[in-house]
């Protein structure tokens, strides 16, 4: 008698547990739940990408500082001044360019 009651109770408990497990899985597979999961994953990915970008930016700044120190470009004084502007005459070419046209050749209707 006790053995039958034990197995009946064990079977009922296993059935309730399995039913609850199946219902949870079915709720997770509903469209609303899938959309919420996808949105959560997208937000999480966005946070990871933002953190990665911040890490890259920090690394670039550190490396730039190392290169400036290695090349002796660091200054302890005030900010560097820009060089004086060049006169406009220096920007113009000294020799004007001429267009050279070919009067002979394979593309000028010459028989070959």
pLDDT tens per residue across span 58-105: 999 999 999 999 888 876 555 566 677 777 665 665 555 666 666 665
- What does the pLDDT average to over 36-59? 96
Q: Identify the pLDDT of residue 17.
A: 96
**Average pLDDT, whole number, for the chain?**
82
The dihedral over CA atoms of 69, 75, 81, 86, expressed in degrees to the nearest 10, equals: -40
pTM for the model? 0.43
Terminal C-alpha separation, the chain: 115
């Amino acid at each position: 008698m006790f053995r039958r009651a034990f197995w009946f109770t064990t079977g009922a408990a296993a059935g309730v547990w399995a039913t609850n497990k199946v219902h949870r899985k079915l709720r997770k597979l509903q469209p609303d739940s899938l959309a919420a999961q996808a949105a959560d994953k997208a937000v999480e990915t966005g946070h990871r990408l933002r953190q990665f970008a911040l890490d890259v930016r920090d690394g670039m700044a550190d490396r730039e500082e190392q290169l400036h120190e290695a090349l002796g470009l660091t200054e302890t004084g005030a900010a560097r001044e820009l060089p004086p502007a060049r006169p406009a005459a220096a920007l113009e070419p000294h020799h004007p360019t001429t267009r050279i046209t070919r009067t002979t050749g394979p593309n000028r209707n010459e028989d070959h």
